A and B are shown apart, each in its own frame.
Chain A
Amino acid sequence: MPSEVTIPLPKTEADVLHIKRIWKAFWVLLVLTILELSLGLLIYNIDLGADPNEHLVLAIKGAICIFTLAKAFYIISIFMHLGDEIRNMVMIIALPMTLFIWFITAFISDGASYRNLRNTDGGSRTYKEQKEQYHHPLVYPAEKSEKRLN
């Protein structure tokens, strides 16, 4: 059964603006992702060094988290059009999401506390953190390709 193709509605000025906004959001997401990647590669290069600065790495990871939240905001508000809905609608979605603030804080600190208890046998001894060395492929270039199963 051949379907009848309806004639599209005429293109208005608002449509042009809307499409512009979509592509703008795309470029913002792309730039944010590239920023995240360059920070990720920066961490990789810091870790390659002899004595990586852990606080610096942690700060970079924090920056990456902020970029991720910005990306989430753009996807939800422009791609999912939540920004165009009325306040009631925005709030009914956004407010339950604030539970995540508690969720993340509680469970990450729970994990950290468990780690501390285990390392110190419930606080009965002191724990000295050891620096772990991970295999870095730059040091062993042939390591990966040789050990293929097939």
Chain B
Amino acid sequence: METAVAKTKTSLWSGGRSPFNVSYGKMMMWFFLMSDSFTFGAFLISYGSIRSSLNQWVDHNYVFNEFPFTNGANLPLAFVSLMTFILIFSSVTMVLAVHAGHKMDQKGVEKWLFLTILGGLAFLGSQAYEWTDLITSQHEVLVNGMIQHWGTTVSHNPWGPDVMFHGQQIATPGPVAFGGYFFGITGFHGFHVFTGVIINTIMLIKTRRGDFSKRGHYEMIEKAGLYWHFVDLVWVFVFLCFYLI
């Protein structure tokens, strides 16, 4: 038994094959994703570090309570959960596209890739709505003894703690860092989704042209799939850091 194990180990590293049992392209995609996860990790941890260095932050259930076509009803978490479900679902369609690729099923790859692209576009649209709403809706805030109306931007945060002003409870400016971190990190993630949609569109075109059938394998779909799942993975953590805790 022991000798058998030793033998496999030598043959794994004695050349002629990948010791990791994956192709060069997939391995490099994994390495890229690893470096990307450290980029996102650095952003999110920097956010956590600043947030824990301040006595107050914002109440996310109050900041993110908007849902389209509800006329400003108070629905905390609702819209962002919709975005999360969209992204999880597009992840499933992507993994089904990869599976269809394994089976050399061109029609299947086309169908599932198309649905994945639709999911990505739906997510981007939702994010555009969310950003527009945050930036353009105005909130009362007490600045230097005067009531002003602020939107949420990288330089303005109207979500600070309340004070009493002429018998009225009114918000004060919150930490400026909130807007920068929120728009910076969700924007960087949104940019990844956008890139993913473009990559998937190129893959769809190449599949339709029959490039992969001619090549004899659909490994490109697998690599695009890895990237797409990574985007979903990052969203899981962005969702945690900005909307849940």
A residues apposed to B, CB below 8 Å: 1, 3-9, 11, 15, 18-19, 22-23, 25-26, 29-30, 33, 36-37, 39-41, 43-44, 47, 61, 64-65, 68, 71-72, 75-76, 78-81, 85-86, 88-89, 92-93, 96-97, 99-100, 103-104, 107-108, 110-112, 114-115, 118-119, 129, 132-141, 143-145, 147-150
Contacts and interface: CB of A to CB of B under 8 A. Distances in A.
Interface in B160-213: 161-162, 169-171, 208-210, 213
Residue among B27, B66, B245 with most chain A CB within 10 A: B245
Nearest to A82: B30
A129 B41 CA distance: 30
Contacts of A110: 49, 53
B111 interface: no
Given A68-B240, A85-B21, A100-B41, A147 B81 contact: no
Contacts of A65: 240, 245
Interface of B: 12, 19-22, 27, 30, 34, 37-38, 41, 45-46, 48-56, 58-59, 61-62, 65-66, 71-72, 74, 76-77, 81, 84-85, 88-89, 91-92, 94-96, 98-100, 103-108, 136-140, 149, 151, 159, 161-162, 169-171, 208-210, 213, 225-226, 229-230, 232-233, 236-237, 239-240, 243-245
A108 B241 CA distance: 13
Given A129-B55, A144-B137, 5 more contacts: A3-B106, A4-B213, A33-B85, A88-B19, A136-B62
Contact of B103 (A8, A30, A44, A150): A8
B22 A89 contact: yes
A134 B137 contact: no
A74 B213 CA distance: 30
Q: Is the interface of A mostly helix, strand, loop or mixed?
A: helix
Contacts of B232: 75, 79
A86 B110 CA distance: 30
12 contacts: A6-B213, A9-B104, A26-B88, A33-B84, A41-B76, A44-B76, A68-B240, A103-B41, A103-B45, A110-B49, A134-B59, A135-B171
